[in-house]
Structure 1
Amino acid sequence: MLRALSEKELHRLEDLLITYGNDYSVINLAELNGFFTALASSPVTVHPEQWLPAVAGGKVPNFKKPAHEEAYTALMLRYASQVAEELADNVDHFEPVFEEGEDGVIIMEEWCFGYMRGTQVAGWSELPAAQDPLLKAISLHGLEDNFELLDQMSEDDIQACVPHVIDAARALYCFHRQRH
């Protein structure tokens, strides 16, 4: 078991995501947490050589310094393990890393986008009818195709989705673990 990332290490990882990010890369810790949650919940194992380029938007960045590349890779690997362990150790208490607005409003969008990116990298196949609504609860907030729907929802309606997204993430993890 690896040691969980400290606050300082999490900030360093987020700085590296920003520094080496592009229009197609994971942009923050919320999105990265969603991405790793989907990978940990996946029916297939996705290896770092498959997911590292996806985090960076298609290919691993050209790092300015070797120390940046070492930190980026080491922190990514540890964070992926940390998220997987959090799910495995106590899925019923797993809490996604959502962003929070200044007014205390939970912002799920980035996490959900990361989760959906993770399902794509892992090549999730269609889910059975009983599990499909779970992924739809997440994809509502994590796919650009749904922006129009979200625009029609009130802030209260969106906030009411928060527990559904959390429950969906937990249930999808359990569903895929039971099938292994």
Structure 2
Amino acid sequence: MLPALSEKELDRLEDLLITYGNDYSVLNLAELDGFFTALASSPNTVTPEQWLPTVAGGKVPKFKKPAHEEAYVALMLRYANQVAESLGEDLEHFEPLFEESEGENGPVIVLEEWCFGYMRGTQVAEWSELPPEQDRLLKAISLHGLEDNFELLDNMSLEEHQACVPLVVEAARGLYRYQNQQPH
């Protein structure tokens, strides 16, 4: 079992995402966390050779230094493993890594990046159609993870938006459980 990434390693990974990112790549840990959650919850196995180019926005970046490439790949693989392990070992306490922003009345959970990452993961893993109950769960995530829904989100109040947080968490757990056929 690989050790979980330290704060320092997570910062390094996020730096590498930004440094080597482009308009189509995953640019932060929240999105990466969503992406890896979807891959771990997928009925189809997706190899790093398949998902690394997606994270990088189409093709693996040209690294300035070999050490950057090694760190990028090693930290990615460890993080993918860490997300899969946290889902597999303690699903009931699995918490997505959402971003937070400061609202007028304190921190506000930002769902979009994580949900975008999750939806990107379902595309890479080529999820097939889900039964109605699981499709409903996926819709809780896709509401915040697809550009088509921006207008709907813009019309939601902060309270309505924050009320979606537990629904997204439950959806992530429920979809993992379904794909891995874990007992409830």
Aligned to 1:128: 131
Determine whether 1:175 maps to 2:173: no
Aligned to 2:19: 19
1:28 deviates by 0.1
Q: Any unmatched runs of 5+ in structure 2?
A: none
Q: Which amino acid aligns with 1:111?
A: W
| Aligned equivalents of 1:137, 1:130: Cα separation in 2 | 11
Q: Secondary structure at the match of 1:131?
A: helix
What's the Cα RMSD here?
0.8
| Aligned equivalents of 1:93, 1:24: Cα separation in 2 | 31
Residue deviations 1:117-138 (CA, integer Å, cap 9, x gap) = 0000000001011211100000
Aligned to 1:8: 8
Q: Which amino acid aligns with 1:163?
A: P
Written as runs of structure 1 = structure 2, the 5 A alignment for 1:20-169 is 20-102=20-102, 103-169=106-172
Q: Any unmatched runs of 5+ in structure 1?
A: none
Residue deviations 1:28-57 (CA, integer Å, cap 9, x gap) = 000000000000000011000000000000
Counting aligned pairs with the same residue, the percent is 78
Aligned residues: 179
Q: Secondary structure at the match of 1:100?
A: strand
Question: Following superposition, which runs of at least 4 residues in structure 1 exceed 4 angstroms of deviation?
Answer: none
Residue deviations 1:123-180 (CA, integer Å, cap 9, x gap) = 000101121110000000000000011111111100000000000000000000018x
Q: Secondary structure at the match of 1:96?
A: coil
1:17 deviates by 0.1
